[in-house]
Amino acid sequence: MRALPSRRACSGIIPSLALLLPLQVSAQQPSGAAALTEDYFLGDIPVVLSASRLAQPVSESPASMTVIDRDMIEASGAIDIPDVLRLVPGFQVSHISGQNQTAQYHGLANQHPKRMQVLIDGRSVYHSAFGGVHWDTLPVTLDDIERIEVLRGSNASTYGSNAFMGVINIITRKAVQDRGTSVSVLTGYNGTREATLRFGDRVGALDYRITLNGFATDGFPNYRNTHTYWDSTGVIAPASVATGTALAPETTLFELARNDSQQIGRFNFRGDWLLGNGDLVLFELGYTHNDRDNILDNGSYEFNRPDENLRSSSELVKWSRQLPGDRGEISVQASHNRFRFDGLRTDFLIDDLDTGATLFNFGPVLGGSRLRNDRYDLELQHTVKLPGSWRTAWGAGIRVDRVSGRNFTTGDQTVSRWQYRVFANTEKYLDDNEQWVLNAGLMLEHQQELGNFSSPRLALNWRLDGFNTLRIAVSRAFRMPSFWEARGENRLYALDPSSYLAPGIPPYDYLLYTSNAKGPDPERLDTFELGLVSIEQLQGLSFDVRYFREWLRDYIDEVRYKNACTGCDGSAVAGIASHDLLIHDNAGSMDLHGFDLQGRYRINDRTTLHGAASIVWSRGQRVKEKDAAGNVIKTADIGDYVPERTLSALLSHRFDRNWSGSIAYYRMSKMNWPNDGDRLEPYDRIDLRLARKFDLGSGRDAQIELIGQNVRNQEYSEFRHDNQFERRLYLRMRLALP
Amino acid sequence: MTRICHDQEGTLRPHPRQLVAWLCALTLGCLISGSQAMAAGSAPRPQVLLLKSAGMARYDQVETAFRAQITAQCEKQPRCPGVTTATVGNKSDTGIASPALVVAVGHKAAIAARSSYSELPQLHVMVSRVEYRERPRASALSVIYLEQPPLRLLRFTRYLLPDHRRIGVLLSPGSPWRTEIEDAESDDNDDYLNIRELDSGREAGRAIRTMKQQIDVLLALPDPLIYNRNTLGAILLTTFRNHIPVVGFSKGVVNAGAVAAVFSSPRTIGEEAGTRALALLAGARPALQYPDRFEAAINRRVASAMHLDLPSDEEIAAWKDAP
């Protein structure tokens, strides 16, 4: 009796199901008369889907892409998804705390990186409440991912507003690839432990896979204040240091035991149902919970930040059919995401303020002690070759985002926003030699309360010769304000330190986050791009260079209105005459230009080098403070919100059939993380990975990996000074059974 | 008899008269050999026009390999041909009035060569044999097909999967492969072939399910009505589900999920074209033929998932290079 195929990796199957470009012959041609061009035999150029919704060779894509495939994911030694993104040129990845990370292309990211769209199998996981993505609440694990396509630059013509400065499209593995059972266990740095059970099988025509995952870590082991007296988290410092005294970098003032631990549970289900008529139906379900703890302890005093509980669930159904003849392919996709956040911060603060003596911390989340954020989305897409050889993907969609909760909007109202969209992306060869390729795209959106928006893109690819393609592209994109930016209000009562708090208490003198009546306008980004794509030659080298200019207008940020709220907070705390207001407003603008470079050099069959580099020159200003009448009091330079240089390299080598290893190098120049982040110094980091496979026979195999991050142990800060990233070692074991 | 003098230091040195005689002989020798070289150089070098299709890297890769092969083999030949490259669609003058041989790379270049250089000897490479089913009238036409000979495919399948004796083949009605694959089977009659004719690749899934008890492996031949971008995904999915490995005809098919394939690459095409061009210039008879050089690709992840124990890369390379 034959054994069924196991779940072991077989990445080669994926392109067959999604990216079958090489076979460029119409099925309708009778074989006797078929003109078999060499494409039928030799077509093997990497293709991408994310740029225009059309499967295209990278050289014909209208935008710059980075494709991280299964091999690269494994070679990187990544522990979680953001880790992998460090290999993308121009990306900044940082731990906000021990519990979550932020990732953004070309900076401008606080803990909610709002200017990038993230998709899982075409489903947007962007949070409309705060903007951005909570990576820790995504239901998929690294083992579920087949590849990640990262589009560098705006792509609103394809994915709508919020695909503003980049798009990350996470493509999971087909269920049929993961038949059998696999177990994965990881243990390592500061209480990190993870266990994953994956099971795949078939029932009738339905292939399915279930993943159960548990992850826990104690985060950063300590809280080390090394830079300034008051940092953004407002933790007490020694009374001997005067308020506001700036300290030399790397001066350790004090160190507190820290517990920013988390316990994550994940479940995801994927079903691929191949119907008898050739239709495909995809089902996906996901659920994640993350319980976060926050404790700082100096031995005699414990500073409790509120615990945070996050819940996330999602459902997706996608039906697709290949239409007869040349009528193309049609698909309908419906999805729903729900995100719930429960942080007891406000309750905690008010209670402690009553005592008048307790030190407190507002925590890293800006607002919303409890909220529920839903997104419902329905989309139709038709891919077809129109007369005149216009290969086109067009469609329409409708979406509603809804947020409800406590201390999030004025009067704790439930707010919602409907969005309607129509889009088309098309591609055409302009000459018989297929040297000139025109890509044009347009997204038309109506956003409730915000208006109508059109996001166009025009790109022209010129194949200079067989290896090199030059691309020129212009585009416009919009970013809709998140609900927090547009409608948020959070009453965080605090005290005036000059009149109330004792020396040594953090000088918080605000807070009332609120919104103005109109809310900010959407941000706008105009982009010009010049790219050179060089595909692999006989020597095994491929690379692409992107020169870009970006003009960001109507930049949204917090503007502090001094003493603008007199008696409007409703606080019962005595002694407060007036408050500052923090209002999200169109506060400034920014211009960026620079180069991205990425390359791959296949040194031989066993050794591959990936490299990525970015250099960005940016300048911009924002309004920081206004008086109650709206006059500007203070502005701030925001050019340093974008690091000038980022660099990464990954060298992977297969020693023999069983042993493999890799070394990764990361470097980022100094950067000022906006809002709740800090101004940080440059860092270098080297990661190592060594893996051994074991063939246990009978279709069973195992693998042991030793992963070292920052192996030189040259500590550096991520996002905030207190997030000191030291050497981290992990051991991961995998067992696959038929 | 040569007289040798000793100088004051006692070292040996020739007599001055001898020195003059040697210089004269050397000069004469140089003149003679130079005149021979000039005589050889004065004979026109044969010129090869390499006519490429436009647009893709693969044509340039063929050119690179072609030139390298010519250079490597010319070291042993007194008359090394010059190679001039032209691209289809480029209207600039090639600078060659009458090349000794036109090497057309790719489908479009082959069409252009037929129309523009019909009176000249031609070698077409990177083309499908479907285009040459009726032998062209031009007697001076040579072709190296992209397709692999069926016997090679069968032997590769048998070498790769010796326990998978029952080989399934899906073909469209009237496919020219039918006769050839059956002939190959009779030449190599250890295999059992199960050939099924289908009107469309859309019927392949059902056919594979009905054949699964009768076949151990599916040999995918380049039949575009069966295997095309619209059908290959479903075919590979069905075979994978039914634990039937697929041996294909291109690297693209292997990347898509087939277990293995033998195929021509731009490098092998260029190298073989170089060798063949030199042979034709030396007087070899024109011929339409399958490639002698080829490459093999294995998708070990698929093989592992299907519990197939395949030979190592080194073993496959040795098999490939074996006569």
CB within 8 Å: A23 and B57: no
Q: Is A21 helix (H, G, I), strand (E, B) or coil?
A: coil
pLDDT reported for residue A456: 96
CB within 8 Å: A41 and B312: no
CB within 8 Å: B54 and A433: yes
pLDDT reported for residue B140: 86
pLDDT reported for residue B163: 87
User: Hey, what domains does chain A have and what are their CATH numbers?
Assistant: 13-737 (2.40.170.20)
CA atoms within 13 A on the CB side of A679: 7
CB within 8 Å: B307 and A699: yes
The pLDDT of A300-309, averaged and rounded, is 55
Whether the pLDDT of residue B191 is over 80: the answer is no
| Residue B109 shares a structural domain with residue B200 | no
pLDDT reported for residue A514: 63
Q: Is residue B138 part of a domain?
A: yes
The pLDDT of A488-500, averaged and rounded, is 48
| Residue B72 shares a structural domain with residue B156 | no
ipTM: 0.70
Contact yes or no for B235/B205 (Cβ under 8 A): yes
Per-residue b or e along A110-149, where b marks 16 or more CB atoms closer than 10 Å to that residue's CB: bbbbbbbbbbbbbbbbbbbbbbbbbbbbbbbbbbbbbbbb
pLDDT reported for residue B138: 59
Q: How many structural domains compose chain B? A: 2
| Residue B280 shares a structural domain with residue B222 | no
Q: Per residue in A141-160, pLDDT tens?
A: 999 998 899 999 999 999 99
Q: Which residue of A has its CA nearest to B105?
A: A38
Q: Per residue in A82-118, pLDDT tens?
A: 999 999 999 999 998 888 899 999 988 888 889 999 9
- Residue B182: which domain range? 150-263+295-321
Q: Residue A583 phi/psi, 5° resolution? A: -125, 135
Between the alpha carbon of residue A406 and those of residues A134, A288, A322, A345, A486, the distances in Å are 20, 22, 47, 11, 16
Range picked from A18-22, A497-501, B93-97 for highest mean pLDDT: B93-97
Q: Is residue B254 part of a domain?
A: yes
pLDDT reported for residue A610: 95
Q: Is residue B21 part of a domain?
A: no
Q: Per residue in B117-162, pLDDT tens?
A: 888 899 999 998 888 876 666 568 999 999 999 889 988 998 999 8
Contact yes or no for A261/A219 (Cβ under 8 A): yes
| Residue B121 shares a structural domain with residue B166 | no
**What's the CA dihedral at B242, B245, B251, B252 to 10 degrees?**
-10
| Residue B258 shares a structural domain with residue B157 | yes
Return the number of CB contacts < 8 Å for A and B: 205
| Residue B86 shares a structural domain with residue B154 | no
Q: How far apart are CA A439 and CA A429, in angstroms?
A: 9
| Residue B210 shares a structural domain with residue B280 | no
| Residue B141 shares a structural domain with residue B159 | no
Q: Considering chain A, what is the average pLDDT of its residues?
A: 80
* CB contacts, 8 Å: A6 with chain B: 304-305, 307
Residue A70: what residue type? R
Most A CBs within 10 A among B50, B51, B53, B56, hence the mutation to make, goes to: B56
Whether the pLDDT of residue A350 is over 70: the answer is no
Q: Is residue B61 part of a domain?
A: yes
| Residue B101 shares a structural domain with residue B216 | no
Q: Is residue B226 part of a domain?
A: yes
pLDDT reported for residue B292: 93
Q: Per residue in B206-248, pLDDT tens?
A: 888 888 888 999 999 998 888 877 677 778 877 887 889 999 9
CB within 8 Å: A538 and B58: no
Kindly state the DSSP code that residue B97 receives in the 8-state scheme: S
Q: Per residue in A415-473, pLDDT tens?
A: 999 999 999 999 998 887 778 899 999 999 999 989 999 999 999 999 887 678 999 99
| Residue B252 shares a structural domain with residue B123 | no
Rama region for A122: left / alpha / beta (φ>0; ψ in -120 to 50; rest) = left
* CB contacts, 8 Å: A26 with chain B: 224, 228
Most B CBs within 10 A among A40, A203, A323, A660, hence the mutation to make, goes to: A40
Q: Is residue B9 part of a domain?
A: no
How does residue B95 score in pLDDT terms, banded at 50, 70 and 90? low
* CB contacts, 8 Å: B147 with chain A: 41
Strands B47-52 and B101-105, sheet pairing? parallel
pLDDT reported for residue A317: 98
CB within 8 Å: B55 and A435: yes
Q: Per residue in A359-399, pLDDT tens?
A: 333 333 334 467 899 999 999 999 888 887 788 999 999 99
| Residue B69 shares a structural domain with residue B110 | yes
Q: Per residue in A221-249, pLDDT tens?
A: 876 554 333 333 334 444 444 444 443 44
Contact yes or no for A722/A94 (Cβ under 8 A): no
CATH number at residue B165: 3.40.50.2300
pLDDT reported for residue A135: 92
Q: Considering chain B, what is the average pLDDT of its residues?
A: 79
Least confident window among A49-58, A327-336, B234-243, B263-272 = A49-58
CB within 8 Å: B60 and A467: yes
Q: Per residue in B178-187, pLDDT tens?
A: 888 887 766 6
Q: How many helices (H) and strands (E) does chain B have?
A: 11, 14
| Residue B271 shares a structural domain with residue B300 | no
CB within 8 Å: A41 and B231: no
Q: Is residue B14 part of a domain?
A: no
How does residue B314 score in pLDDT terms, banded at 50, 70 and 90? confident
Contact yes or no for B211/B194 (Cβ under 8 A): yes
Least confident window among A497-511, A558-572, B23-37, B278-292 = A497-511
Q: Is residue B26 part of a domain?
A: no
The burial of A385, by beta-carbon neighbours within 10 Å (0-12 exposed, 13-18 middle, 19 or more buried), is given as middle
More confident residue, A329 or A40: A329
Least confident window among A529-533, B120-124, B196-200, B232-236 = B232-236
